[in-house]
Structure 1
């Protein structure tokens, strides 16, 4: 668990056990405590690849299915437009970076791009 995300484990220990420095405890004791963390802890979410709590994800599925059932009975559904947005998709999709990472082949290329951006071109 430490190798997966030590920060998440530290936060979980602080929140659930009020342990702020797990190095003060024997390894076996820390392992027992880590194993005893609940399914809604940060490290458990990380292990399962979840971005949100599983109960919230279930509620989002219920909302999505209800919205689709209601939508299916409308004129918009027959025409294939105005499909409701998915809560599950919003909760689970990866955030897109604001700006893509850029690489330059040389310092000269960087300087040219820097000047272009400074001049507003």
Structure 2
């Protein structure tokens, strides 16, 4: 798990067990805690190739249904204009919404360099 996604595992250990320094514990204990994480923990979902958690999918589906019902009863719905975008589609990536690439930085200096490059203010 540690080799698969160290950050996800560390977040799960901190959230679930309040372990902030896993290296201070015996290896077997950390392994036991890691295997004991819930099925919707970051690391287990990532290892299974699952992105959104089931609760998010269900809430998005409910919200989509509610929004669609309200839209269908509106003037726009009667004419087929301004159809609401699907939250569920955005979460599961059905291709209708463009996914945005997320970029991270190890330090403020790295961010500043990239910002200067993007804005053309390299010095």
TM-score, normalised via structure 1 length? 0.61
What's the counterpart of residue 66 of structure 2? 66
User: Map of 1:34-49 to 2, 5 A cutoff?
Assistant: 34-47=34-47, 48-49=49-50
Larger radius of gyration: 1
What's the counterpart of residue 30 of structure 1? 30
Q: 2: distance between equivalents of 1:17 and 1:96?
A: 31
Over 3 Å counting, the alpha-carbon distance change for 1:97 and 1:46 in structure 2 is: closer
User: Per-residue CA shift, 1:3-25, capped at 9, x if unaligned?
Assistant: 22101111211221122232333
Which range is displaced more, 63-72 or 19-28? 19-28
**CA shift for structure 1 position 65:** 1.5
Q: CA RMSD in A?
A: 3.0
Over 3 Å counting, the alpha-carbon distance change for 1:92 and 1:71 in structure 2 is: same
Structure 1 residue runs without a partner (length 5+): 99-113
Determine helix, strand or coil for the equivalent of 2:34.
helix
What's the counterpart of residue 95 of structure 1? 100
Relative contact order, higher structure (CA 8 A, sep 6+)? 1
TM-score, normalised via structure 2 length? 0.60
Structure 2 residue runs without a partner (length 5+): 94-98, 104-116
Q: 2: distance between equivalents of 1:20 and 1:96?
A: 29
User: Per-residue CA shift, 1:61-101, capped at 9, x if unaligned?
Assistant: 10102222332344433432110122223445532469xxx
